[in-house]
């Protein structure tokens, strides 16, 4: 499509917003079989996932430009879509590994085909330096490593240049899969150390803008707020050669513009499609939609127990009975969500997670519970939502506002810019009532509870604290799923969550992406970011 015609078809307003896109990436690029043009609603803010303040979109950079010891496999779903396989772990930098008889040591043989971009081999020393860094810098990366029982540099041992060992205080089902998530990426320590200082021993300022990896792609350009560009590393030998030579990821804040670019063929792949667009794309059939419920993930209404009256269990339960679940699924999720309400049992009969909570819309029951809490006439409150996720959070907020009004709870809506959301909701945890989303990277219910129900942990934005839950999580996190006590403990966790409802599940969301018919190999991942390595384009 010619540039003039392209702008004309979108109209003056849309065309004006697309000028930066066309300046940096001509629309014709989407027609090249070696170039993949991707549009996304938000951009990256760092090339270093270990750095404090790195945002979620930046996770994908780590996936594509760095390698890990191991990776998850990929499976085909019933509809032909591809998704990661949480049950399958494959070699990456590690050629092979051995687990000790007591399960407390994992020894990895480094693949001699693992080569950094500068041509030097990946060694056990690089792995140790990278892992030491992950547990030492603090914040989210350190807690993620802790989930796999990795907390101290002393646990990472160089046996020789090509042999590396991880020692853990106890055998844990999470240690090996935790090495396949984005956090434990392997850095060229020889390069990074050249830029270390007394104030910055881990070279965070250098690696923030200058990656030093061995991955299948390199970053060759980054224009903050506009785009970044990957170029294939043709010397990468740790898997099939990626099917495209270049990937251009453009930040397009407007969802309508992202949709228009996709419909007209000027974008090859639209990541994280809004539910409404995904539903309409599927019905129109012009592009392929790949999507499935996100493992271990829930959209929830979170109630902050540090603020009255949410410290009262009857108030929390009243709100759980007052939510308009069916309307939310229909009007906010457009059917692209798995209901997590209307459960038939107050005590779970199995450990499926997520599973429906035993609440449905029942305004009379909600009023009774409010009266029992001494709030017969209701109260006033604020419901906060993330403007960066307004496609589902804004209609959901409006529906909740209307429904709670019917039981006397007057709700004022508070719109928070996406750039400020993480600090307000997750770091400072200062929002009384808010919409939140969390998906656990490791597909176990006890792992979800570790992040979302343990006091002080990042995704426990409700400031929920329950000693019984804390102990159950600590006892169960590293327990084998074959242990008879595992099922007992998980059922008890879920039963407490049913009763206490600091987080009221709305639905399990889909991760949907739309792509041109000639794009193949796209897979949905637990980290909800783009893995370019398997994608081909004819």
User: Tens of pLDDT along 134-185?
Assistant: 999 998 899 899 999 999 999 999 999 999 999 999 999 999 999 999 999 9
Confidence label for 22 from pLDDT (cuts 50, 70 and 90) = very low
Residue 458: which residues within 8 A CB-CB, separation 6 or more?
Answer: 140, 143, 426, 427, 451
Residue 471: which residues within 8 A CB-CB, separation 6 or more?
Answer: none
**Per-residue model confidence (pLDDT) at position 327:** 97
Burial class (CB within 10 angstroms; exposed 0-12, middle 13-18, buried 19+) of 83: buried
pLDDT above 70: percentage of residues in the chain: 94
Q: What is the mean pLDDT of the chain?
A: 92
Q: What is the mean pLDDT of residues 464-488?
A: 96
Express each pLDDT in 58-79 by its tens digit: 999 999 999 999 999 999 988 8
Is the pLDDT confidence value at 31 over 70? no
Express each pLDDT in 508-525 by its tens digit: 999 999 999 999 999 999
Express each pLDDT in 97-109 by its tens digit: 999 999 999 999 9
Is the pLDDT confidence value at 5 over 50? no
Q: What are 514's two structure tokens?
A: 């739309």
Least confident of 16-25, 273-282, 316-325, 359-368: 16-25
Residue 94: which residues within 8 A CB-CB, separation 6 or more?
Answer: 69, 70, 108, 109, 110, 111, 164
Confidence label for 292 from pLDDT (cuts 50, 70 and 90) = confident
Is the pLDDT confidence value at 299 over 90? yes
ω into 489 cis (within 30 of 0)? no
Cα–Cα nearest to 320, from 377, 363, 381: 363
Q: What are 348's two structure tokens?
A: 């779970």
Confidence label for 531 from pLDDT (cuts 50, 70 and 90) = very high
The count of residues in the chain is 538
Express each pLDDT in 238-275 by its tens digit: 999 999 999 999 999 888 999 999 999 999 999 989 89
**Per-residue model confidence (pLDDT) at position 448:** 97
Is the pLDDT confidence value at 328 over 70? yes
Alpha helices in 107-153 (DSSP H): 124-136, 139-147
Instruction: Domains for the chain: give ranges and CATH numbers.
Output: 67-199 (3.90.76.10), 297-510 (3.10.105.10)
Angle at CA of residue 296, ends 216 and 240, nearest 5° = 20
Express each pLDDT in 482-508 by its tens digit: 999 999 999 999 999 999 999 999 999
Alpha helices in 373-444 (DSSP H): 390-405, 418-421
Is the pLDDT confidence value at 2 over 80? no
Distance (Å, whole) CA 193 – CA 486? 43
Residue 29: which residues within 8 A CB-CB, separation 6 or more?
Answer: 35, 37, 248
Is the pLDDT confidence value at 210 over 50? yes
**Per-residue model confidence (pLDDT) at position 389:** 87
Least confident of 234-238, 249-253, 307-311: 249-253
**Per-residue model confidence (pLDDT) at position 320:** 98
């Amino acid at each position: 499509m010619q540039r003039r015609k392209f702008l004309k078809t979108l109209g003056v307003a849309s065309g004006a917003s697309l000028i930066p896109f066309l300046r940096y990436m001509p629309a014709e690029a989407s027609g090249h079989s070696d170039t993949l043009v991707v549009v996304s609603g938000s951009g990256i803010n760092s090339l270093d996932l270990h750095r404090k303040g790195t945002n979620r979109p930046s996770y994908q950079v780590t996936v594509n430009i760095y390698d890990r010891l191991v990776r998850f496999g990929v499976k085909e779903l019933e509809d032909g879509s591809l998704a990661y396989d949480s049950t399958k772990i494959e070699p990456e930098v590690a050629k092979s590994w051995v687990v000790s008889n007591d399960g407390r040591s994992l020894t990895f043989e480094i693949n001699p085909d693992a080569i950094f971009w500068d041509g030097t081999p990946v060694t056990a020393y690089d792995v140790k330096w990278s892992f030491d860094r992950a547990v030492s810098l603090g914040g989210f990366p350190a807690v993620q490593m802790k989930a796999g029982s990795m907390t101290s540099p002393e646990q990472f041992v160089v046996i020789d240049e090509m042999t590396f060992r991880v020692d853990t205080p106890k055998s844990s089902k999470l240690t090996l899969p935790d090495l396949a998530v984005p956090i434990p990426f392997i850095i060229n320590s020889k390069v990074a150390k050249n830029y270390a200082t007394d104030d910055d021993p881990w070279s965070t300022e250098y690696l923030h803008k200058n990656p030093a990896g061995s991955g299948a792609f390199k970053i060759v350009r980054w224009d903050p707020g506009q785009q970044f560009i990957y170029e294939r590393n043709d010397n990468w030998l740790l898997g099939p050669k990626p099917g495209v030579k270049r990937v251009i990821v453009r930040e397009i804040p407007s969802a309508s513009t992202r949709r228009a670019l996709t419909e007209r063929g000027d974008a090859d792949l639209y990541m994280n499609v809004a539910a409404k667009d995904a539903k309409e794309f599927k019905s129109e059939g012009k592009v392929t939609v790949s999507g499935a419920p996100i493992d271990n993930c829930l959209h929830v209404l979170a109630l902050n127990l540090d603020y009255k009256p949410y410290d009262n269990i009857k108030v929390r339960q009243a709100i759980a009975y007052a939510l308009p679940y069916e309307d939310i699924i229909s009007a906010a999720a457009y059917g692209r969500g798995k209901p997590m309400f209307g459960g038939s049992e107050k005590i779970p009969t199995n450990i499926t997670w997520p599973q429906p909570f035993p609440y449905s819309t029942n305004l009379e029951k909600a009023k009774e519970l409010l009266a029992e809490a001494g709030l017969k006439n209701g109260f006033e409150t604020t419901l906060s939502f993330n403007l960066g996720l307004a496609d589902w959070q804004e209609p959901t907020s409006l529906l909740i506002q209307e429904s709670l009004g019917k039981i006397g709870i007057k709700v004022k809506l508070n719109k928070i810019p996406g750039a400020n959301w993480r600090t307000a909701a997750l770091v400072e945890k200062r929002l009384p009532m808010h919409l939140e989303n969390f998906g656990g990277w490791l597909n176990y219910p006890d792992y979800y509870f570790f992040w979302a129900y343990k006091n002080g942990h990042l995704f426990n934005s409700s400031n929920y604290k329950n000693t019984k839950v804390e102990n159950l999580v600590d006892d169960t996190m590293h327990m084998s799923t074959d242990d008879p006590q595992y099922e007992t403990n998980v059922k008890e966790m879920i039963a407490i969550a049913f009763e206490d409802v600091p987080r009221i599940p709305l639905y399990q969301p889909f991760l949907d992406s739309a792509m041109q018919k000639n794009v193949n190999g796209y897979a949905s991942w637990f980290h909800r970011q783009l893995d370019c390595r398997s994608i081909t384009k004819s």
